[in-house]
Amino acid sequence: MSAGTVQSALPAIVKWPAPAKLNLFLYITGRRTDGYHNLQTLFQFLDFGDELTITTDNSGSIKLLTAVEGVPEEENLVVRAAKLLRQQAQLRGTLPENAGATLAIEKNLPMGGGLGGGSSDAATVLVALNHYWKTGFSLTELATFGLQLGADVPVFVQGFAAFAEGVGEELTPVAPAEKWYLVIHPGVHISTPAVFTDPALIRDTPRREISELLLADYGNDCEPVVRKRFREVEQLVSWLLEYAPSRLTGTGACVFAEFDTESAARQVFELVPKKWQGFVARGVNVSPLHRHLSAQ
């Protein structure tokens, strides 16, 4: 590519998926010296999430058309992702100085819900702009960039259901059953740092091999703390357990129940009290983002 312009054939306006994820299990095996925690968790995507509209131009600026209340634009993960990719590409000499982009997010996932919405949005920006700008980075390289933005970004970049260790960046592909899930948000926002700094948090679950974990009953070490601190989550988990195996995803606030069929999930969805919001979605082992990318 010449150093003067972005390639002239700009893409048509297309919506890119930024799917939700579930932590089918989440165990905390120790606290690190840097303040983070070592985890063992199982990520699976949902065929539901946010949608991003991304267009490229020669303006030299990154514009976000859909601001998030309370989040300055320069701190928004999608803006940071676009600027990070541009910086890395320009350092490599594969992108001109005037490369720009305009981003818009259609938010379908709640903030602070444990569904990875912000991380997924950032990953979609990295993958889509790598495609549009033809910067040529591998998924492994994009995942490394993504780790600078958040521990969950790499799994969304890589695009396969995964067993994760470390802070969530050491990924091993797995293929859990693609169940149907009813996901409900209790209407509270939960701060991940607040959960991980709670003195009562379980931090010493023994590390186990993947094969053992996949055969054991699934759990979430964050759930006892969250249920104790947030009455709404306690009420939701207790209600949902009456109908199906249910647990917290991530640090919450969303709770999910597992079903073998869509119809079974929707039957319970019809019973959800009006005070709670939710949706039914299929668990998928290949990210909708990567299915979309392969169709481009």
Tens-digit pLDDT profile for residues 214-245: 999 999 999 999 999 999 999 999 999 999 99
Among 50, 121, 152, 221, which one carries the catalytic annotation? Answer: 152
SS (H, E, C) the chain: CCCCCCCCCCCCCCEEEEEEEEEEEEEEEEECCCCCEEEEEEEEEEEEEEEEEEEEECCCCEEECCCECCECHHHCHHHHHHHHHHHHHHHHCCCCCCCEEEEEEECCCCCCCCCCHHHHHHHHHHHHHHHHCCCCCCHHHHHHHHHCCCCCHHHHHHCECEEEECCCCEEEECCCCCCEEEEEECCCCCCHHHHHCCCCCCCCCCCCCHHHHHHCCCCECCHHHHHHHCHHHHHHHHHHCCCCCEEECCCCCCEEEEECCHHHHHHHHCCCCCCCEEEEEEEECECHHHHHHHCC
Among 21, 50, 121, 179, which one carries the catalytic annotation? Answer: 21
pTM of the model: 0.92
Whether the per-residue pLDDT at 115 is higher than 70: the answer is yes
pLDDT tens for each residue of 118-166: 999 999 999 999 999 999 999 999 999 999 999 899 999 999 999 999 9
Task: List, in order of start, the domains of the chain with CATH numbers.
Answer: 15-174 (3.30.230.10), 180-284 (3.30.70.890)
Whether the per-residue pLDDT at 4 is higher than 60: the answer is no
Q: Is 21 a catalytic residue?
A: yes
Q: Is 228 a catalytic residue?
A: no
Residue 11 has a pLDDT of 46
